[in-house]
Chain A
Amino acid sequence: MLVTIDDQTIEVAPETTVLEAIHALGGDVPTLCYDPRQAPFGACRACLVGAEGARGPIPACTTPCRDGMTIDTRDVTARRVVTAVVELVLSELPQPPGAHTELAAVARELGIGDGLRWPGASHERRHDERHPYLALQHELCISCGRCVRACDEVQGAFALTATGRGFSANVTAGLDAGFRDSSCVSCGACADTCPTDAITEITLLNIARTTPGERT
């Protein structure tokens, strides 16, 4: 089937997602919950794009291509919503994300500065640093689900879970007693995929903490 993305047309196999087609053409859109090693999740909504004939922006990661589809990755409405969503995500952290993180990179790409439109409650600081290799900083978790899926789908260790619901949603290991008392096998797949340093390697923690966050 043929899809057109930003005036370029490409032939794709059935079940190809719009995001995969964008990547196949060498393009990109912001993503936060996407990891090509994992099944699409559809949570972050940062990959919203315009689709001709659709009632509103569509998520590129979970939408399968249809023959004759026309996609606009620079759709003004989609970009406006995505910018607002990422501003909301920044507002839930008690501090700006480290400049080296994926979240900071996405914020820079969208031109989001320091002034957030909807300030409010942020997540409480709570750390698990008892594991020899892995640290969990709950307040930096944006509930993208990548660590849980890396643990379940890639490693098969089933040590992590999403917790809570609504604004209290977070992530934890085992029965919430830390990585050390969970079925964690120390593979590091969670830290590798985390877009914010919520889960990071202990050795990198000091580097992460000495790099001040930047928003622009």
Chain B
Amino acid sequence: MEHRGEITDDDRRIAAEVSGLPEAAVYGVSTFYDDLLQPRGRRHIRVCTGTACFAATADAHVDELRHALGLELGDRSDDGSVSLAETVCLGFCHSSPAVRDGDLIDAGAGVIQRVLMGATRAASEPQWRSVIAEPVLTRPGDWSGLSRTLRESEPEQLLAEVKTANVRGRGGAGFAAGSKWEFARAAAGEPKFIVANGDEGDPGSYIDKYLMEQNPALVLEGMALAGYAVGAAHGFLLCRSEYPRSKPALDAAAVSARADGWLGENIAGSGFDFDVTILEGAGSYVVGEETALLACVEGLRGTVSARPPFPAQRGLYGLPTVVNNTETLANIPFIARHGADAYHALSPGATPGTKLVCFNERFARAGVYEVRFGTSLRELCEGLAGGLVDGRQIKALQIGGPLGGILPASRLDVAFDFDALAAEGCMVGHGGILAFDDQTDMRALARHLLRFGAHESCGKCFPCRIGLQRAYEQFSRDAPIERERFEQLLETLELGSLCAHGSGMPAPMRSLLAHFPDELGLA
């Protein structure tokens, strides 16, 4: 593939022989993932079409590249010298727009000119900081939580502590991590597995990217602690191919952990064995859904499966599996070291623990911040992130990913927490905070989100597979949207879809209908 720039049937036959999969199954996989579908020229340019890049340029950066290269997205020049593809998202949302030239990611003002002149340079990584004196997630992982646990606690005690801490999943769904662990521990079947979900596909989010690349030891420590509590000796972490630095950083952290005796057999003389395998995805948003993630880890098409059975009962290779987001796992070392009471004390009167949030390029001080739950969005957006650049005003926010509702600027006093945001039709989600400024065309935003939704639908359940395509088509035509029919379509998606992708995409549409009806071109 690297030499020819596309996958041939000979490649598929070899893959079938090596993997033991039927040829047809290999063909199915090769037509599912973006990385395997896009033809590559000798120079492969991927332009980020994420929502932060949309908020920065209204997609002008995409058009500029297309016109200058004379290529459509997904095309390769006739002489094979250059190819152009889209990618969602590169996680340089603090410095949009972003372009990946080979494995080099450039971002920010002038990026398109640099890429066209052959002067692509590495973009700077975002800043991060904690507003909490004793940080949970921005403290460099040092294995002290695992060390203390192996000396002082039985697996049942760690499990009880995590349950008492009431750790809610940070990947989007907010499910109690302790309950997942308890189900997996009690489930029949050996061996058991820990799977860390590092497939941070939310456009506008670079939280897991920060953790995996700047603090990988903390994530691996969380995985080892989960393994200890559940009775699993192996963990898999699936990171994204869109983040070319993640896998090397995680692999390096695993190598040092093995050298220091924190991964491997008989860790710290305790008799507990645990090791990890770091895998990289191939370009699919829905693989962030836990059943699709497991299919991807198994090397299959990343489509969603109906639950039950839940992964805790029948997960990876049919065995009991805990699937936790990387940020969720990064909370565990603090609990192991300081206990559930200290964890509760971090966000008084709100969801226990802390949360990483990140802001897009529209903010003056875009970056990753560790904050308390319950902080008002105004304090986060205007205080921490310094409001918007260039004297622009916030028109609306999208919080927690593409399935999150849109919060108008008039509601900025809402607290950043699960229940408070749910009451606004929004969510904590994964914690990305995207601002759209006063010049944003809300109909174009709806079209942008629906295009993403339709492109990323895994294609398994009928409402999402066809419904998102139809919704996108409606917003692509230069014609009024018939509101009643559109709302019927949203209901069909919400109530009919198999997973949160199809059932969640209507949330931002509902808020656009509620807060910006005059801008959508409704009939």
Instruction: Spell out A's residues near B (CB within 8 Å).
Output: 32, 40-46, 48, 56-57, 59, 62, 64, 77, 80-82, 84-85, 88-89, 91-92, 117-118, 120-121, 142-143, 145, 158-169, 172-177, 182-183
Q: Of B24, B454, B465, B492, which contacts A175 at CB under 8 A?
A: B24
Cα(A54)–Cα(B308), bound, Å: 15
**Which 3 A-B pairs have CB atoms at the shortest separation, nearest pair first?**
A169-B459, A42-B306, A161-B28
Shortest Cβ gap from B459 to chain A (Å):
3
Residue B347 CB within 8 A of the other chain:
no
Interface string of B300-317 (1 = CB under 8 A from A): 010101101000000000
Q: A120-B469, A143-B459 are in contact. Are A164 and B31 (CB under 8 A)?
A: yes
Q: Of B23, B308, B461, B488, which contacts A84 at CB under 8 A?
A: B488
Residue B134 CB within 8 A of the other chain:
no
Shortest Cβ gap from A95 to chain B (Å):
16
Q: A84-B488, A167-B457 are in contact. Are A183 and B463 (CB under 8 A)?
A: no
Cα(A60)–Cα(B333), bound, Å: 41
Contact partners of B24 in chain A: CB under 8 A: 158-161, 172-175, 182-183
Contact partners of B497 in chain A: CB under 8 A: 45
Contact partners of A142 in chain B: CB under 8 A: 462
Shortest Cβ gap from A175 to chain B (Å):
5
- B residues 469-492 with Cβ under 8 Å of A? 469-470, 473-474, 485, 488-489, 491-492
Chain A: interface secondary structure? loop
Report, as a range, how many residues of chain B touch the other chain: 35 or more
**Cβ A167 vs Cβ B28 within 8 A:** no
**Cβ A166 vs Cβ B12 within 8 A:** no
**Cβ B27 vs Cβ A45 within 8 A:** no
Contact partners of A32 in chain B: CB under 8 A: 462
Cα(A147)–Cα(B127), bound, Å: 51
**Cβ B470 vs Cβ A120 within 8 A:** yes
Cα(A91)–Cα(B308), bound, Å: 30
Q: Of B9, B25, B457, B492, which contacts A85 at CB under 8 A?
A: B492
Contact partners of B485 in chain A: CB under 8 A: 117-118
Chain B: CB-nearest residue to A32: B462
Shortest Cβ gap from A39 to chain B (Å):
10
Contact partners of A177 in chain B: CB under 8 A: 9
Q: A81-B496, A175-B9, A175-B23 are in contact. Are A143 and B460 (CB under 8 A)?
A: yes
Shortest Cβ gap from A193 to chain B (Å):
17
Cα(A77)–Cα(B23), bound, Å: 42
**Cβ B455 vs Cβ A163 within 8 A:** no
Residue B361 CB within 8 A of the other chain:
no
Interface string of B15-34 (1 = CB under 8 A from A): 00000001111011001100
Shortest Cβ gap from A14 to chain B (Å):
12
Contact partners of B9 in chain A: CB under 8 A: 175, 177
Contact partners of B454 in chain A: CB under 8 A: 166-167
Residue B468 CB within 8 A of the other chain:
yes
Cα(A42)–Cα(B459), bound, Å: 12
Q: A42-B498, A43-B461, A166-B465 are in contact. Are A175 and B32 (CB under 8 A)?
A: no
Q: A45-B461, A89-B462 are in contact. Are A163 and B492 (CB under 8 A)?
A: no
Chain A: CB-nearest residue to B503: A56
Count of A-B contacts with CB under 8 A? 149
Chain A: CB-nearest residue to B27: A175
Contact partners of A145 in chain B: CB under 8 A: 460
Most chain B CB neighbours (cut-off 10 Å) among A48, A82, A118, A158? A118
Q: A161-B27, A174-B24 are in contact. Are A166 and B469 (CB under 8 A)?
A: yes
Contact partners of B104 in chain A: CB under 8 A: none
Shortest Cβ gap from A151 to chain B (Å):
8
Residue B456 CB within 8 A of the other chain:
yes
Interface string of B98-119 (1 = CB under 8 A from A): 0000000000000000000000
Cα(A121)–Cα(B473), bound, Å: 8
Most chain B CB neighbours (cut-off 10 Å) among A77, A84, A165, A172? A165
**Cβ B469 vs Cβ A84 within 8 A:** no
Cα(A177)–Cα(B23), bound, Å: 11
Residue B284 CB within 8 A of the other chain:
yes
Contact partners of B23 in chain A: CB under 8 A: 174-175, 182-183
Residue B352 CB within 8 A of the other chain:
no
Shortest Cβ gap from B287 to chain A (Å):
11
Chain A: CB-nearest residue to B458: A165
**Cβ B460 vs Cβ A64 within 8 A:** no
**Cβ A165 vs Cβ B459 within 8 A:** yes
Contact partners of B489 in chain A: CB under 8 A: 84, 117-118
**Cβ A117 vs Cβ B27 within 8 A:** no
Cα(A167)–Cα(B505), bound, Å: 16
Contact partners of A82 in chain B: CB under 8 A: 496
Shortest Cβ gap from A68 to chain B (Å):
18
Chain B: CB-nearest residue to A42: B306
Shortest Cβ gap from A101 to chain B (Å):
16
**Cβ B498 vs Cβ A167 within 8 A:** no
Contact partners of B492 in chain A: CB under 8 A: 81, 84-85, 88
Contact partners of B488 in chain A: CB under 8 A: 84, 117
22 A-B pairs within 8 Å (CB atoms) are namely A40-B306, A45-B461, A45-B463, A59-B498, A81-B496, A82-B496, A85-B462, A88-B463, A117-B485, A118-B470, A120-B473, A121-B469, A145-B460, A161-B28, A163-B28, A165-B459, A167-B454, A167-B466, A167-B469, A176-B27, A177-B9, A182-B24
Q: Of A41, A163, A169, which contacts B27 at CB under 8 A?
A: A163
Shortest Cβ gap from B306 to chain A (Å):
3
**Cβ B466 vs Cβ A62 within 8 A:** no
Extra contacts, 20 of them, besides A85-B492, A120-B473, A175-B13 (Cβ < 8 A), are A42-B461, A44-B461, A44-B462, A77-B495, A81-B496, A84-B463, A85-B462, A88-B462, A158-B22, A161-B22, A161-B27, A164-B32, A165-B301, A166-B454, A166-B457, A167-B454, A169-B459, A174-B23, A177-B9, A183-B24
Contact partners of A92 in chain B: CB under 8 A: 466
Cα(A163)–Cα(B473), bound, Å: 22
**Cβ A88 vs Cβ B473 within 8 A:** no
Chain B: CB-nearest residue to A169: B459
Q: A64-B308, A182-B23 are in contact. Are A45 and B459 (CB under 8 A)?
A: no
Chain B: CB-nearest residue to A184: B24
**Cβ A166 vs Cβ B468 within 8 A:** yes
**Cβ A166 vs Cβ B459 within 8 A:** yes
Residue B204 CB within 8 A of the other chain:
no
Contact partners of B458 in chain A: CB under 8 A: 165-166
Q: A143-B460, A160-B24, A174-B23 are in contact. Are A48 and B496 (CB under 8 A)?
A: yes
Contact partners of A175 in chain B: CB under 8 A: 9, 12-13, 23-24, 27
